[in-house]
Amino acid sequence: MPMDERKLEVLRAIVQDYVATQEPVGSKSLVERHNLRVSSATVRNDMAVLEDEGYIHQPHTSAGRVPTDKGYRLFVDRLSQVKPLTAAERRALHRFLDGALDLDDVVHRTVRLLAQLTRQVAVVQYPSLSRSRVRHLELVHLTASRLMLVMITDTGRVEQRLVELPGPVAEDDVLAIRRTVNEKLTGARLTETPKLIQALVEEAAAELRPAMTNLSTVLLETLVERGEERIALAGTANLTRHSLDFAGSLRPILEALEEEVILLKLLGEVDTSAALHIRIGDENEIVGLRATSVVSAGYGPSGDVVGGLGVLGPTRMDYPGTIAAVRAVARYVGEVLAQN
């Protein structure tokens, strides 16, 4: 085995043992627990090189070594295998998400499931409004001068609004307006709709223009003005299970998790990519989260990323298991959205 590969094998063993035991790892225990096929003296030499290069450090005199952020990064970058979900975990994933009733239910079930699978803090972003498309618009004729507008997006978002008309409108005219609106807006991203809505008014027949004007106002409120992004969070109590991993206090982490802007920033890199993102320790821009690692991925129907999800926990994290859980949940949520 080449020397560099051997040192990497030693680093893998240190990470695995430290994640499992939370105890500094010595050369003797490495030789006893792992089939490294070398002597304790050779392992000590490799550990000395790894320490000199900043991949591990010695927290106390005469103690074993623990991985640094740089060591975790190399471990993650050189992962050859991701721990697959167990059969029970896969069944739980399918059973938990298959029963979802609507988008809110999908998001809340997803965030709870992620927290349970990983025993970390889970964060799920609702499908981004800027990436959602109009799937269908329905107009229900309630009275001669009042309509119910129902808007459905391709990400499962459903909005209902009342539309007060300037005067009575016949049922046939309502059907004509509905047909025109769907022809113009179906398939359009919500961010593209303002100019299309303006065109609806300009192109409407003279006798329907007052009704279309009122409808367009409500459409703009529904499709554009509600531009806030939403986040769901679960598993914050899991941080207390790892309190010894955080040198000072949990307070900076808890304060950061209270800020929705920060949570959105955590998932910001996955807005346009389904690829996995892992930030370890000091790689986090947010000072209060530099004792943590974040594993996140994008999700969406048919590979079209519409939001992000992920978990946050200590740098002493089961990266293979966490990566597998985040990937599997992101993929399955995308399938659920595509089916519904």
Instruction: For residue 226, give both structure tokens.
Output: 């509600």
Is the pLDDT confidence value at 1 over 50? no
Residue 273 is predicted with a pLDDT of 58
pLDDT tens across 234-274, in order? 999 999 888 777 776 788 888 888 887 888 777 765 655 56
Separation between Cα atoms, residue 134 and residue 303, nearest integer Å: 17
pLDDT at 258: 86
CB contact at 8 A, 197 and 216: yes
Indicate if the pLDDT at residue 227 is higher than 70.
no
Local confidence band at 226 (pLDDT 50, 70, 90 cut-offs):
low
How does pLDDT run across 94-114, given as a tens digit for each residue? 888 888 888 889 999 999 999
pTM (predicted TM-score): 0.81
Question: Which DSSP symbol is given to 25?
Answer: B
CA angle 187, 191, 197 (to 5 degrees): 70
Q: Tens of pLDDT along 39-93?
A: 888 999 999 999 999 999 998 766 789 999 999 999 999 887 778 888 888 888 8
Is beta strand 66-67 parallel, antiparallel or unpaired with respect to 292-299? unpaired
> If you average pLDDT over every residue of the chain, what do you get?
87
Residue 320 CB contacts under 8 Å (≥ 6 apart), including other chains: 79, 81, 82, 83
Lookup: tokens for 274: 């389904």
pLDDT level of residue 13 (50, 70, 90 thresholds): very high
C-alpha to C-alpha distance for 327 and 122, rounded to whole angstroms: 13
Band the pLDDT of 155: cuts 50, 70, 90.
Answer: confident
In degrees and rounded to multiples of 5, residue 47 shows phi and psi of -65, -35
